[in-house]
């Protein structure tokens, strides 16, 4: 009569012990969304902090862009009786200072464009790492299901072998299939931990037990809609599609910076004014200190010519670099666009035909095998065919998302 309360007390103690054992593990898990991961990485990534400091550097240089030459403090003896102090200041024409300020502003804008490039790169890296985590988790779920199915099949085959209803070859084959799936599951678990660490490094939490908030296998329909809408909205010309690329804007600004450098070199070839205040009289003179004025002439013409040639070559190199980047971005865009269209068609097939067929194959093959209507060999072949379809479907989703990530990166989104 007292066995039931005692049994329930034992179950209660066992449940409490299990909760205590699993509590710390669950507490360490962190389910994270993609947008949250992006915001976190954009806030903490050292590359963006470096860009922020480079912007501060250029701002400081801009504040000091109005930079006259240092004054010359002199001691002279104009009368030959004693030494007297004086000062001489060389002042460039206003156009030189305007060009210096303009070049400093171009350098600041280039640093800001560099921040945009790094921000887009970090965002792409996070999206790739998050996708890798989703793929590894989906792979573990898929193989866990396969492993449980083959474990049940192996247990049933062992019973049938003991009863003399299957051959030793069938028993060994079942065990081999089960061990192979178990080995794949162990490898997928290691890959998942590597994906967690990769994303964790980008978030500044390399040891966190990260989990994606969605199962990649359930995102097929939403991905198909998103991809179709994107493909309909893309411009016909690749040059228009990559016009907003931060990389292209960065190299365009490098051209602007080099052009401002050429203008500054040309402005410095003009004469400068010299103003002085010195003692030019005897000690008993009523007005000993007087102003003096002069002109600083750029007589060392080969120096300015060499500087102009160097600045011109630098500007041409920046222009060719811009052309090269535009060509490379257009090539990458065309490849990403082709991949997107290719995987969109493949995903549509698996959504409409492949996946329903794989589920039907798994269900019907098990039912027919239990009814004795198909052989063990046909069952294994059918299960492997169905799982191959499901794995290819998962690979298609991964490749489709990778193509969209690259396409959006090239478009500056």
Indicate the domain borders of the chain: 55-410
pLDDT at 401: 94
| pLDDT value for 3 | 42
Q: What is the pLDDT of residue 284?
A: 67
**Measured on CA atoms in the order 74, 78, 80, 85, is the torsion positive or negative?**
negative
Cβ-count burial 210-224 (b if 16+ within 10 Å, e if not): bebeeebbebbeebb
**55-410: which CATH topology?**
Outer membrane efflux proteins (OEP) (1.20.1600)
Any idea which of 205-209, 239-243, 357-361 has the lowest mean pLDDT?
239-243
What's the pLDDT score for residue 17? 38
Which residues does residue 212 pair with via DSSP β-bridges, in sequence order?
A: 32
Mean pLDDT of 330-335: 91
139-148, 264-273, 357-366: which range is least confident on average?
A: 264-273
Q: Which tokens is 275 given?
A: 């103003």
Indicate the SS3 state at residue 242.
coil
Segment 155-172 shows an average pLDDT of 81
pLDDT higher than 80, residue 282: no
Q: Is the pLDDT of residue 354 over 70?
A: yes
Higher pLDDT, 365 or 289: 365
pTM of the model: 0.82
pLDDT of residue 169: 82
SS3 state of residue 300: coil
d(CA 402, CA 167): 46
Task: Please state, in angstroms and rounded to a whole number, the distance separating the CA atoms of residues 247 and 125.
Answer: 15
Instruction: Please name which of 334, 323, 347 lies closest in space to residue 401, comparing C-alpha atoms.
Output: 347
Structure tokens that stand for 382 in this block? 């059918």
Highest mean pLDDT among 204-208, 268-272, 354-358: 354-358
Of 2-6, 172-176, 318-322, which range is least confident?
A: 2-6
Which position has the token pair 């989104």? 413
Query: The tokens of 72 are what?
Result: 């010359």
Note the pLDDT of residue 73: 84
Mean pLDDT of 226-235: 86
Is the pLDDT assigned to residue 13 strictly greater than 50?
no
SS3 209: strand
What is the predicted pLDDT for the residue at 288? 67
pLDDT over 90, % of the chain: 45
For 354, residues 6+ apart whose C-beta sits below 8 A from its C-beta are 389, 392, 393
Least confident of 147-151, 197-201, 225-229, 366-370: 366-370
- pLDDT value for 28: 60
Closest CA to 348 of 388, 300, 393: 393
Sort 251 into a burial class: Cβ within 10 Å, 0-12 / 13-18 / 19+: buried
The model's confidence at residue 1, banded by pLDDT at 50, 70 and 90, is very low
Does the pLDDT at position 7 exceed 70? no
């Amino acid at each position: 009569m007292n066995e039931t309360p005692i049994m329930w007390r034992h179950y209660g103690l066992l449940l409490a012990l299990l909760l205590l054992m699993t509590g710390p593990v669950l507490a360490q898990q962190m389910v994270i969304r993609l947008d949250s991961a992006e915001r976190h990485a954009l806030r903490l990534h050292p590359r963006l902090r470096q860009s922020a400091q480079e912007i501060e550097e250029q701002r400081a240089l801009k504040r000091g862009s109005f930079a006259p030459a240092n004054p010359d403090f002199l001691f002279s003896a104009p009368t030959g009786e004693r030494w007297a102090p004086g000062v001489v200041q060389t002042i460039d024409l206003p156009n030189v200072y305007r060009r210096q300020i303009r070049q400093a502003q171009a350098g600041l804008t280039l640093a800001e464009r560099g921040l945009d490039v790094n921000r887009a790169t970090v965002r792409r890296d996070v999206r790739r790492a998050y996708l890798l985590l989703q793929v590894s988790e989906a792979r573990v779920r898929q193989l866990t299901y396969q492993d449980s199915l083959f474990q049940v099949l192996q247990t049933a085959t062992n019973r049938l072998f003991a009863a003399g209803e299957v051959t030793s070859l069938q028993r060994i084959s079942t065990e081999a299939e089960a061990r192979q799936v178990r080995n794949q599951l162990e490898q997928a678990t290691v890959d998942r931990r590597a994906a967690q660490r990769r994303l964790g490094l980008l978030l500044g939490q390399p040891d966190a037990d990260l989990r994606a908030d969605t199962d990649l296998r359930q995102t097929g329909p939403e991905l198909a809609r998103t991809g179709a809408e994107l493909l309909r909205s893309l411009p016909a010309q690749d040059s228009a599609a990559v016009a907003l690329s931060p990389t292209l804007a960065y190299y365009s600004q490098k051209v602007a910076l080099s052009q401002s450098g050429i203008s500054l070199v040309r402005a410095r070839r003009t004469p400068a004014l010299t103003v002085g205040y010195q003692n030019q009289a005897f000690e008993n003179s009523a007005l000993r200190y007087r102003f003096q004025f002069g002109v600083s002439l750029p007589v060392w013409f080969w120096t300015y010519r060499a500087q102009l040639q160097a600045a011109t070559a630098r500007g041409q190199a920046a222009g060719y670099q811009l052309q090269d980047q535009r060509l490379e971005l257009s090539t990458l865009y065309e490849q990403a666009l082709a991949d997107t269209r290719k995987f969109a068609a493949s995903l549509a097939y698996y959504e409409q035909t492949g996946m329903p067929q794989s589920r039907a194959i798994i269900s019907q093959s098990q039912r027919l095998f239990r009814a004795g209507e198909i052989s063990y060999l046909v069952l294994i072949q059918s299960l492997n065919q169905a799982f191959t379809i499901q794995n290819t479907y998962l690979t298609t989703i991964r490749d489709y998302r990778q193509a969209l990530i690259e396409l959006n990166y090239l478009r500056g989104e």
